[in-house]
Amino acid sequence: MVGSMAGLLAQSGIESEVRNDILGGASGEIAPGETWVELWVLETSQVASAREIILASLKQPEDGDWQCGRCDEANPGSFEICWNCGIPGNG
Ligand SMILES: [Zn+2]
């Protein structure tokens, strides 16, 4: 996912670098929260726009996404129950 973010930024002319990806293969040993890789924007002046691009891409609903009627969280179409509150919602 971080790799695709880097690609997205590259399309906008923003150079970035993925760090900490050395931990990517060790998720069995490490809590998920610690396996997050970091995306570093090389040009400091581009950090703000890079952040906006990424936030916008995260908000973009994909086909089949659905929104939970109870907590309003967005869920991927592959989820049958809300990841946040656990109620069935898809279809
Ligand atoms: Zn929910």
pLDDT digits (tens, 9 = 90+) for 2-38: 667 888 899 999 999 877 655 555 555 544 455 556 7
Query: What are the CA-CA distances from residue 36 to residues 3, 9, 68, 71 (Å)?
Result: 12, 18, 26, 25
Q: How far is the CA of 57 from the centre of ligand 1 (A)?
A: 21
In angstroms, the CA 75 to CA 68 distance is 7
The pLDDT score that the predictor gives to residue 85 is 95
Q: CA triplet 83, 21, 18: central angle to 5 degrees?
A: 95
Band of residue 55 on the pLDDT scale cut at 50, 70, 90: confident
Q: Mean pLDDT for the chain?
A: 78
Angle between helices 2-11 and 47-59 (to 10 degrees): 120
Q: How far is the CA of 56 from the centre of ligand 1 (A)?
A: 22
Q: How far is the CA of 69 from the centre of ligand 1 (A)?
A: 7
The answer to whether the beta carbons of residues 39 and 16 sit under 8 Å apart is yes
The pLDDT score that the predictor gives to residue 30 is 47
Structure tokens at 1: 């996912």
What percent of the chain is modeled with pLDDT above 70?
Answer: 71
Q: How far is the CA of 66 from the centre of ligand 1 (A)?
A: 10
Listed by start position, the domains of the chain span 2-60, 63-91
